[in-house]
Amino acid sequence: MNSLRFEDLGHGITCIDAQYIDHGIACFYLVQAGDDYAVIETGTNHSVPLLLQYLHQRGIAPQQVRYVIPTHVHLDHAGGAGAMMAAFPEAQLVVHPRGERHMVDPGRLVAASIAVYGESTFHKLYGEIQPVSQDRVLATGDGDCVQLGSRQLQFRFTEGHARHHHCIWDEQSAGWFTGDMFGVCYPWFRFPEGDFVLPSTTPTQFDPDAYLASLALLASYSPQRMYLTHYGAIAYSDDKSELLASQVAQYAALAADTSVGPQEMPAALLDYALSRLQAHTPSSAQDDLQQWLQQDIPLNTQGLLHWRESGLQEG
């Protein structure tokens, strides 16, 4: 699975497959402005050699990478940050302020991830997480910008999936780097009937009200395209935003329904997701649809149950 896969998206943006679990699951982006570059998202430690290979093919020196920017510190988005910072001596790591301490001292982040995935799977997926020196970390404020050559990147706080999440607005492409805030849309969710976007409510900070507010914020910029981490660029539309919003609302209703016990929640969530997929693409076989959901439903269920148990739906 180590063959380099990438796509030139125009506007000086290249999508590179992070090869997380399999092809087409997660990606990161190389953004160019003249001779300067930023990397948005990092994949995992296993993704870093892929980026170095691509830079070598392009004749881009490591010193030309000015910023490494994870949207949040979940390890499929930030696991490779320490290794990238070691490889790019002139780069700053730009993170949400709530994620800063986890990049400098990743011990708690690692422990939380091991609690979700188990120790064996964790090490297989992520390897050894390297800390980043405090003096190379830039914590953003909501609305802050960094300058990449002639290109300005703006950071907006976008809670709902995680409290340490920011999205990055690129005016030059009229696009958002959305992390997990505009859902997931893997290659197998691209149908003749249109793209299907599925919410990501993975543990442990799902907040439906904040999620809906973040979707509204993203829409307020009148974007033309969304650069998803899971996976690749999709055209923006109000219909896609509403598709996400309606699912988030129903997820919250399911989680708040205490008659649906923890054992029943995965099946209830799968049934709901299948119904939305079938309505979106009636020509697709149900077995295929169910298979395509296996990646996300268990983790989304954990997020909903954690939200229920923590009492967040009451506050």
Q: Which domain holds residue 162?
A: 6-243
Same domain, 236 and 287: no
Same domain, 153 and 198: yes
Q: How many residues are listed for the chain in this entry?
A: 315
Same domain, 179 and 248: no
Q: Which of 16-20, 190-194, 310-314 has the lowest mean pLDDT?
A: 310-314
Q: Is the peptide bond before 251 cis (omega within 30 degrees of 0)?
A: no
Tally of domains within the chain: 2
Give pLDDT, residue 116.
76
Q: Is the peptide bond before 201 cis (omega within 30 degrees of 0)?
A: no
pLDDT tens sequence across 4-32:
999 999 999 999 999 998 899 999 999 99
CA torsion 44→126→292→166, rounded to 10°?
-50
Same domain, 61 and 21: yes
CA torsion 44→46→48→49, rounded to 10°?
-170
Q: How many CB atoms lie within 10 A of CB 114?
A: 15
Whether 237 is in a domain gets the answer yes
Domain boundary among 195, 228, 243: 243
Whether 222 is in a domain gets the answer yes
- Residue 85's contacts (CB-CB under 8 Å, 6 or more residues apart) are 68, 91, 93, 130, 132, 133, 136
In angstroms, rounded to a whole number, what is the distance separating the alpha carbons of residues 40 and 142? 17
Same domain, 101 and 134: yes
Domain boundary among 198, 222, 243: 243
Same domain, 278 and 231: no
Q: Parallel, antiparallel, or unpaired for β 232-235 and 225-228?
A: antiparallel
Whether 94 is in a domain gets the answer yes
End-to-end CA distance of the chain: 45
Domain boundary among 197, 224, 243: 243
Over 70: is that where the pLDDT of 224 sits?
A: yes
Whether 33 is in a domain gets the answer yes
What is the amino acid identity at position 188? W
Give pLDDT, residue 103.
94
Whether 287 is in a domain gets the answer yes
Same domain, 216 and 231: yes
Beta strands in the chain (DSSP E): 6-8, 13-17, 27-33, 36-40, 65-69, 92-95, 137-139, 145-148, 151-157, 166-170, 175-179, 190-191, 194-195, 225-228, 232-235
Whether 10 is in a domain gets the answer yes
Give residue for tokens 């125009």.
Answer: 10
In angstroms, rounded to a whole number, what is the distance separating the alpha carbons of residues 102 and 95? 10
Same domain, 56 and 134: yes
Same domain, 239 and 250: no
Same domain, 234 and 248: no
Same domain, 118 and 78: yes
Across 22-26, 112-116, 152-156, 300-304, the highest mean pLDDT is recorded for: 152-156
Same domain, 237 and 274: no
In angstroms, rounded to a whole number, what is the distance separating the alpha carbons of residues 192 and 150? 38
- Residues 234, 228 contacting (CB under 8 angstroms): yes
What is the amino acid identity at position 191? F
Whether 188 is in a domain gets the answer yes
Q: What is the mean pLDDT of residues 26-41?
A: 98
Give pLDDT, residue 119.
87
SS3 content of the chain, % helix, strand, coil (to 5): 45, 20, 35
Determine the 3-state secondary structure of 72 from DSSP.
coil
In angstroms, rounded to a whole number, what is the distance separating the alpha carbons of residues 104 and 16? 26
| CATH number of the domain within which 39 lies | 3.60.15.10
| Segments in 175-222 forming alpha helices (H) | 208-220
In angstroms, rounded to a whole number, what is the distance separating the alpha carbons of residues 259 and 72? 33
Over 90: is that where the pLDDT of 300 sits?
A: yes
pLDDT tens sequence across 197-215:
999 998 789 999 999 999 9
Whether 1 is in a domain gets the answer no
Q: What is the mean pLDDT of residues 102-124?
A: 87
Determine the 3-state secondary structure of 254 from DSSP.
helix
